[in-house]
Structure 1
Amino acid sequence: MQHLISSAGRKRLLVVAALALVVLPGAMLAVGSFLGIYVRPTSDDWCGAWKTRDMGVFGITRDYYETQNGRVANAFLTGIVYSHGLLGQQVLPLILVLTLTAGLVLTLVTLGRRLGWRAPLPVVLAVVLVVEMLLFFAGTRPYQALLWAPGTISHTLPGIVAVWSGLLAVWAGRRGGRPARWGSLGYALVTGAVVGTLSEPFTVVSGVFLGAAAVVLLVPSMRRRVGSWYPFTWCAAWCVGLVVGFTVLYTSPGARWRREQTPSAASPLSDRQLHLEVHDWIRVWHSIGGTWSYLGALAVGLLLGLSVTGRPRPQNGTAAAAGAAADAPDESGPGAPRHPFGDLSRRWTWTLLALPVPLLGISSFGVVVGLRMGYGGRGWTYGRAWTNFLFPMLLLLVVYGVLIGRQAARRLTADSTAGWRLPALFAVGLASAATGIAAAVHLVPVVDHMTSSTVVRAQAWDRQNALIHRETENGATVVTYHPLVVPQLAEPFIVRSYAKDWAAACVAHYYDVTRIQKPPAPHSLAARQTVPQHKPRPKPKARPGQKPHHQQKQAAGGTGGH
């Protein structure tokens, strides 16, 4: 009886700790979603908005393919987001948070059922919310990870697509027959192709992980354990789709034009370039390693591992015995949760445990190489692209935390007569919850600053937008624009030559004027004066299939980058 009371007390304590952990990350994500209503165009937003308005969804898709970068899926989604004015980019953060939350919760529940594990819903929710909090707010570019549509389309959305794709694959494999599995394989092929034209960084990351999974599943012992070719075929279909999609992107006229704008002086595989790429990669991980908040993912994984109980399986015997099994210790007996590696040999177990770490390193290095190829020596600082491998890193930390928690629970409950074991277990659980809460508290100033700066910018943008519209209604074709800068994003007048200022050109198109000019007094919007110009707007000259030079831009990574 004392053991049963202790087991129930442990569960209650962990649930209370998880509920305390849910509050702050949940509030931060709610604030981030609500901030969507204060999102206003900046940088690539200007270009996506006017092209969608003037060309339509399919027009901007063709434009990206022919003259920009070849990312047709990225362009199609961009057109959908901007097809209703500001509405799309304002509701996108909420959609991202809700879909990722639902996808991760369902993933944990599905995996738990597969392993015979059962965890309290508050603990599962705490894990999901902490992972999302760290993904959106712990990086170097929180605004771009959640609120800036071009960045989220290219670097946040692909991970969400992968989560739901994996769920559909599992459901089709477990509950569907042959038609469901064939449909799932077709979906993997198509989705892989879409991802290949949506985000080059996530193409690299997902290709490395699923390619490695396919190779592991080809090993005879693993194939016999799985008992089906379906998992291997699904991974292979996704990888084939990635190759098809990336081939479409790489061979597109837009991608060829973009490579011509930044010709590489040397091969990325040359000794000097490899040295520079490795140096950039080390700096990226030095920055990530210095962000201790990411330990929150390990902590909530540990909390989840401690809270897992077994799902009793039917056994022969009396009803009393069955009832006792349901309340039995979750580390042994008929109600025990199955070990994720089952009866694998020790060598295979350690191999599978360690394999994700080098895969994460390889995929992140591939992203860094692409950033350097696309943006030069400062490419590694484009923190929004890090989201593509930070997401699997956070999931990996959760998995390791769960395994450590399971091992701790097994050892600390092995002998119920040892008086120190249960307090030690409580201490581990409370320390895990405290670490997660500390990580959330550490990120509160980040959310607070993002909130205040976004609201202030939205108010200034609305005033300026109304003023410019009044001027254009009175016939002005040259208007004054005061840059409203979001850190690390481009605004007009970032370069001295107006002919090369793609942001200024896109703002001029957005307001349907000939050009924009700097304010005479940058410190005061109220003092600026606009001289109306009534000359007809000249049509820019361009070669067939390509926009004028002053409108051409090297995307600044906004529509996906590398």
Structure 2
Amino acid sequence: MAVGASRMTTPQEPDEPSGPPGRGKGGGPWFSSRVTVCAVLLAALPLGLLAVAAWLGRHVRPSADEWCFLPVVRDHGVAGLVGKFYVTDNGRVGNALLVGLYAEFPVAGHQWYALVSGLLTLLVVWTLTVLLLRRAGQRAPRGIPLLVAATVTAVFLLATPNTYKTLYWPAGSVSHTLAPVLACAAVVPALCARGRRGRTAALVTVVLAGVLIGTLSEETSIVGLVVLSGLLLTGRRLVTERAWPALRTWALLGAAGIAVGTAVLMTSPGSRRRRTRFGAETTSMISPESLAASARGFARIVETVLTTWPYAGAVAAGLLLGLLARPGGTGSVLRRPCRPLPLAACGVLAVLVAGYLCTVVTYPVFGARVSSAARTWNDYLLLYVLLLVAVGALLGRALRTRMPRPWAALAAAVAATVLAVSVVGLARPLHQLGQDMRVRAGQWDRQDARLRAGAASGAKVLPYTPLPVAGMLEPFRDRGRIGWPARCVADYYRLDAVTYSTRLP
């Protein structure tokens, strides 16, 4: 395509008729309506699972770090928590802002968090799917983008080794689950941009989002920089000459925003205190020993992820998308002809590089436990799940253009079956987690009532029984020998101290 050309249209595919849609080979209204019904029925599985997960959120109660956040927000507001994070805790002012928003509504904020974050993830992925199809000059039957988004959301949130810390623990989710979702949301204005004002709004959005991500999550910042660097290195091969300057400017400004936010975080007193507390000031992340240990830890993470079979549902969703999408015909697109193998190879490389660098960054804090700190994987697991969908879509496109239509229909039926089995397989562990959460909620509420009543009657020291769930930290671990965060629990109930107890109220 010559530089300065007005547009680039998608090439005619071998199985597409040249005329308008009808009831024949190209698939007409009857075909579209039948596929739409099937897609909606299939999407009901992940959507139903997500609805159950959101409903179980009513059993969430504060634990771990949240015991320390709640008294600060109660006494000093969100601004007080932002100041505490910047000066004392970790420097993550963006993180403090989001934590403060749900901590303003103590227990209720925890209970609603799963619904709000899950719905946000679904809407972002759904919107991205629709816009990327439009930009690629493709159209899919109605219901397919929703099916893809619902499957991605269910797999991302529920297939991890610890769903509680991924979805239900707001403090951990803000840092490692919500952060990559917000990074994806920053792409939406760029895909919607039309005209000078739209492009300006997209550039402003990506800068502000970059600064927020930089002060929200070090690991998501790394993933963002890896992806943006990949776009700068390969973008000229992906989009037309007319679209390349805009993509280059957008990627550079996004990287600059992340760099600014990261600089604010890393130079903060809180970040220096945290590095000192975990010995990171004296341990080099780039020493040969640390890099080798990080590689071993990341290899174990990769093994765990690759053997987690529900992720096959994301590939199946992409396969259905590739099999059922068709060229848009009249819409102009800004991409070059698709080269599946190099495109997939770049995606795999981006996930591996981002995952390893995230492991390198977290190793000084977690040490040998870096391969079991599953919540920190989520920063790059969303990228991994999206890659699986993209690989499935590329495979589906290849099958559609090279296989007879009956075989393509059989492939779609197999993909739908795999997707359904993968989603249904997530139901049992979610049910068991819900049972554990329900039991803890009842115990927590009884103990909460006793502590509040004791504090109201003038008591200054009261017993506290640890109530752990899904590996969450509680006061008095190791049979009472480790007290953190007992001091924060006492502050929450306006007591001088709480003591270790084994008797539940």
TM-score under structure 1 normalisation?
Answer: 0.81
**Residues 192 and 238, structure 1, Cα contact 8 Å, conserved in 2:** yes
SS of aligned partner of 1:86: helix
- The SS at the match of 1:361 is helix
Deviations, residues 483-515 of structure 1 (Å, cap 9, x unaligned): 1101221000025786x6331111111111111
C-alpha contact 1:50 1:510 (8 A) present in aligned 2:
yes
* Equivalent residue number for residue 383 of structure 1: 374
- 1:453, CA displacement in angstroms? 1.3
Q: Give 1:168 deviation, angstroms.
A: 0.9
* Kept after mapping to 2: 8 A contact 1:18/1:123: yes
Q: Which residue pairs with 2:198 in the alignment?
A: 180
Given candidates 392, 398, 410, the residue that maps to 1:407 is 398
- 1:464/1:2 Cα in 2 relative to 1: closer, same or farther (>3 Å)? closer
Matches within 5 A, 1:49-448: 49-172=70-193, 175-177=194-196, 179-217=197-235, 219=236, 225-264=241-280, 266-313=283-330, 342-343=336-337, 350-412=341-403, 421-448=404-431
Displacement after TM superposition at 1:36 (Å):
2.1
- Cα distance change, pair 10–81 in 1 and its aligned pair in 2 (3 A): same
Structure 2 residue identity aligned to 1:380:
S
Q: Are the aligned partners of 2:218 and 2:262 in contact in 1 as well (CA < 8 Å)?
A: yes
Partner of 1:549: none
Shift of 1:227: 3.5
What's 2:504 paired with? 525
How many Å apart are 1:93 and its aligned residue?
Answer: 1.4
**Residue 204 (structure 1) shift:** 0.7
Deviation at 1:99, TM superposition (A): 1.7
* Cα shift at 1:474: 0.9
- Please, which runs of 5 or more residues in structure 1 have no aligned partner? 314-336, 413-420, 527-562
> Which amino acid in 1 is paired with 2:100?
G
Q: Per the alignment, in what secondary structure is the counterpart of residue 121 of structure 1?
A: coil
CA distance in 2 between partners of 1:504 and 1:267 (Å):
32
What amino acid is aligned across from residue 397 of structure 2 in structure 1?
R
Q: Which residue of the partner structure matches residue 45 of structure 2? A: 24
Q: Within 1, Cα distance between the matches of 2:148 and 2:352?
A: 24
Deviation at 1:7, TM superposition (A): 6.6
Matched-pair contact (CA < 8 Å) for 2:474–2:484: no
* 1:224 CA displacement: 5.3
Alpha-carbon distance in structure 2 between the residues aligned to 1:365 and 1:14: 40
- Two-structure CA RMSD over aligned residues (Å): 2.3
Q: In structure 1, give the amino acid aligned to 2:476.
A: F
- Between the aligned partners of 1:2 and 1:191, the Cα distance in structure 2 is 46
In the aligned structure 2, how far is the partner of 1:506 from the partner of 1:338?
A: 58
Displacement of 1:123 after TM fit? 1.8
Superposed CA deviations along residues 120-166 of structure 1, whole A, max 9, x for unmatched, are 22222111111111111100110111111101111121122122210
CA drift at 1:180: 3.3
Q: Mark the CA change 1:405 to 1:350 in structure 2 (over 3 Å): closer, same or farther.
A: closer
Structure 2, unaligned runs of 5 or more: 1-21
C-alpha change, 1:185 and 1:422, in structure 2 (3 Å) is: closer
Name the CA distance, whole Å, in 2 between partners of 1:6 and 1:62: 60
Which one-letter code corresponds to 1:525 in the other structure? L
SS of equivalent to 1:229: helix
- 1:469 and 2:452 equivalent? yes
Q: Do the aligned partners of 2:238 and 2:335 also contact (CA within 8 Å) in 1?
A: no
Task: Confirm or deny that 1:491 pairs with 2:474.
Answer: yes
- Whether the aligned pair in 2 keeps the contact of 1:144 and 1:152 (CA below 8 Å) is yes
SS class of match (1:40): coil
**Any conservation in 2 of the 1:204–1:366 contact (CA below 8 Å)?**
yes
- Output the TM-score relative to the length of structure 2: 0.90
Q: Which residue matches 1:560?
A: none
Instruction: For residues 269-319 of structure 1, give each alpha carbon's deviation from its aligned partner in whole angstroms, at most 9, with x where no partner exists.
Output: 222222211100100001111101101100111011111133343xxxxxx
Whether the 8 Å CA contact 2:60–2:110 is kept in 1: the answer is: yes
Contact 1:14 1:429 (C-alpha < 8 Å) held by counterparts: no
* Equivalent AA in structure 2 for residue 233 of structure 1: T
Q: Does the Cα contact within 8 Å between 2:476 and 2:484 map onto a contact in 1?
A: no
Instruction: Give the aligned residue type for 1:51.
Output: V
Structure 2 letter corresponding to 1:355:
C
